[in-house]
Amino acid sequence: MDSIKRYMRFVKPYRWEILLTIFIGILKFAIPLFIPILIKIVIDDIIGAPDLTDSEKITQLVYWLGGTVILFFIIRPPIEYYRQYFAQHVGNKVLFDIRQELFGHLQKLSLKYYANTRAGEVISRVINDVEQTKNFIMIGLMNLWLDVATILIAIGIMLAMDVKLTLVAIIALPFFGISVRYFFGKLRDLTRKRSQALAHVQSYLHERVSGISIIKSFTLEKHEQNIFDKENGEFLDRALDHTKWNAKSFAVVNTITDIAPLLVIGYAGYRAIQGDLSVGTMAAFYAYIERLYSPLRRLVNSSTTLTQSIASMDRMFELMDEEYDVKDKENSRELPSVKGQVSFENVNFQYEKDGQMILKNINFNIKPGETAAFVGMSGGGKSTIVSLIPRFYNVTGGAVKIDDTDVNDVVIHSLRAQIGIVLQDNILFSDSVKQNILMGRPDATDDEVIAAAKAANAHDFIMTLPDGYDTKVGERGVKLSGGQKQRVAIARVFLKNPPILVLDEATSALDLESEALIQDSLERLASNRTTIIIAHRLSTITHADKIFVIDHGELVEEGNHESLMKKQGVYYDLFQIQKLD
C-alpha cells in the first residue's frame, strides 16, 4: 500500500473539496433510502388503516407522494449535479498535477534511459496508467465511503424497525468480507501483468507507426502482422487470466449477496404469518435489502477497479522513481558566459557499468574560436565525445572542461545554454516553422526569427510554403525535405547564438544543392565561435585548425590537414580510401 500513501501527496491539496463531495454524495445516496419507508407507510398506514375512508386514504397518498416528488425532482437534481462536478473536478486536477510532475521528471532523465526504454512504454505510463489512477479518487476516496455510509444508514434504519430481522439481513456480511479478501488479493498481480502486456502492444504500435515507410519499402507487412499477433496474443492471454479470476470472484461474491434476500423473505414471511410483523415492514425490509447489498455489489466492482488503479499507481511510481544518471551536484554553480575553450583530460567512458569501454584516455584541447574536427571509422567514438561536452552523459573517468571549468561542477542548464548542436538527422516538432526556429530562443522577436532564417539560407524556401513561417511541418518535419529540415535546424542555432557549436555530420546524405546552401550557412554560423565538427567526408574539414583522428575509442592522431597528410598515418589512409587526394 506504499503507492497509495505516495499518491495521497497529490490528493492532499484537494482534501476539503473531497470532503465536501463526500458530504454531498451522502445526501444524494440517503435520499433514495426514504423509498422503503414510504412503502411501509403506504401499506401499513394508508392502505391498511381501518379508520380511514377511501377518500382520506387517497388524500394521504397524494400528500406523501407530493412530498416525495419535491424531494426527488427539486432537491435531489442540484445535489446530483454538484456531486458529479466536484468529483470530476478533483479527479482531473489531481491527474493534471501528476502529469505535470511526470513530464518534468521525464525531461530530467538522461539519454541513457531513453536509449534503453521504448517510447511507447513511457507514453503508456504517462497517459494510460495515470488515467487509471483517477478511479482511486472517484471510487476509493469518494464512492467507497458513500457506499459504506449508505450501508450504515440503511442498517441504522433497519435496526430501528426490527432488530431480529436486521440481524438475519446482515448475516451474510462476514462471508462477503472473507471472499473479497481472498479473491482480490491475487487480482492486483494479474492486473499489473495485464497492464504491462498492454503497454508492450502500445509500444510496438508506436514504433511501427513511426517507421511505417520502412515496413512498406521492405514489404514486411506479413512479417510485422505475425509479430503484432504474438504481442497482441500475449496481451490476450494476460487479459483472459485476469478475466477468469475476476469472473470466479464475482460468481462467489454475488452468490453470497443473493442469499440474504431469501433469508429475509423466509424469516419475515414466517413472522408475518404469525402476526408478529406487518406486511408494510416486510416490504420495507426487502427494499432495504436491495439498498444494503447493491452498494456491496458496487464495492465488489470497485475492488476490481481499485485493484487495477493501484497496479497502475505502482507502474506510475516505477517511472517516477527512475534515478537521474545526469544531475546537478549539490554545490553546482552557474557557468558564466564562456570564451569557448574545450578540453578533455584523461577521459574514459562506458555506457554501462560492466560494459565495453567506449573511450580510452582521451586528451585534447581546443582553443576559443578554433574549428576542430573529429574523424575516423563509424563506431569509433566520435559522437560519444561530442555528447560528453554538453554532459548528456557523465564521464566514467577524467574530466571534460569548458574554459578550465569541469562540466560536472556547473548547473547543467547553464552549460547547455552555451552550446549549439546541429545533427545529421535533426528532429523538428509537428508545429509551425516559426515555432521550431523559436526553440533556439523562445522569447525572440519575429524580426530575429526571420534574420536567423536568412542567415541559415532558409528564408526563401520558407516563404514558398503555403503559410510561410506559420506552415505546420508535420511529425518530425515530414513535410519538409532533408535539406529544408537541416536549414530550419541551423536557423534555430543562429537564433540561440552560442559560443560553442557542434556539427555532427550535418551535411551528410544531402543533395549537392542543399549541401552547398547548408555549407555556406554553416561557415557563417561557425564564424567567431568554437566549432566542433564530426565529419564523414574529409573534404569538408580540410580547413579545420585541428583534426583529431579517433580509432576504437582512442585518439591516435592530431594536427591540421597538411601535417596529417605528411605523416601518412591513419588520416592519410582514410583520405586515400575516399579518393580525395
What pLDDT, in 10s, does the model give residues 193-239? 887 888 788 778 877 877 777 787 777 788 888 888 888 888 899 88
Q: Which stretches within 162-220 are classed as H helix?
A: 163-169, 173-210, 212-217
pLDDT in tens, 437-490: 888 888 889 898 888 888 888 888 889 888 888 888 877 667 787 778 888 888
Q: Cα-Cα-Cα-Cα dihedral of 551, 557, 558, 563, to 10°?
A: -130
288 with 223: CB under 8 angstroms? no
Percentage above 90 pLDDT, the chain: 7
Q: What's the DSSP call for residue 12?
A: G
Residue 49 has pLDDT above 70, yes or no: yes
Give dist(CA 203, CA 123) in Å, integer.
8
- For residue 207, what pLDDT is reported? 77
Angle at 343 between CA 337 and CA 347, to 5 degrees: 130
pLDDT band at 344 (very low <50, low <70, confident <90, very high): very high
Question: What's residue 581's pLDDT?
Answer: 45
The enclosing H or E element of 242 equals: helix 221-273
All three cell numbers of 276: 408478529
> Which three cell numbers, joined as nine digits, stand for 265?
423473505
Whole-Å CA distances, 442 to 29, 53, 312, 335, 392: 52, 84, 36, 21, 22
Three-state DSSP class for residue 509 = coil
Residue 509 has pLDDT above 70, yes or no: no
Report the distance separating Cα 46 and Cα 60, nearest Å.
Answer: 7
Spatial distance between the Cα atoms of 131 and 37, rounded to a whole number of angstroms: 40
What is the distance between the alpha carbons of residues 370 and 548, in angstroms, rounded to a whole number?
13
Mean pLDDT, the chain, whole residue set: 83
359-366, strands of its sheet edge to edge: 359-366, 342-349, 397-402, 405-406
Supply the pLDDT for residue 506.
59
Residue 358 sits at the vertex; the CA angle it makes with 370 and 409, to the nearest 5 degrees, is 60
Specify which residues 406 forms β-bridges with: 401
The grid coordinates listed for 335 are 557557468
Instruction: Determine contact, residues 130/122, Cβ cutoff 8 Å.
Output: no
Determine the pLDDT at residue 170.
Answer: 83
DSSP string for 40-52? HIIIIIIIT-TTS
Span 158-192, pLDDT tens digits: 888 888 888 888 887 788 777 777 777 677 678 77
Q: Work out the burial of residue 125: count CB atoms within 10 Å of its CB; fewer than 13 is exposed, 13-18 middle, 19 or more buried.
A: buried
| Residues 361, 556: Cα–Cα separation, whole Å | 11
- The strand pairing partners of 432, in sequence order, are 472
CB-CB contact of 527 with 497 (8 Å):
no
- Residue 303 near residue 492, CB atoms below 8 Å: no
Burial letters 434-450, b for 16+ CB under 10 A, else e: bbbbbbbbeebeeebbb
Residues sharing a CB contact under 8 Å with residue 151, sequence separation 6 or more, in sequence order = 292, 295, 296
DSSP-derived 3-state class of residue 1: coil
Cell 573511450, located at residue: 359
List strand residue ranges (DSSP E) for 449-553, in order.
500-504, 530-534, 546-551
Spatial CA neighbour of 34 closest among 150, 167, 147, 148: 150
- Given a contact cutoff of 8 angstroms between Cβ atoms, the answer to whether 358 and 351 are in contact is yes
- 532 near 384, Cβ under 8 Å? no
The pLDDT, as a whole number, for residue 580 is 47
> Which pTM value belongs to this model?
0.74
pLDDT(304) > 80: no
Output the pLDDT for position 98.
92
How far is 433 from 487, CA to CA, in rounded Å? 11
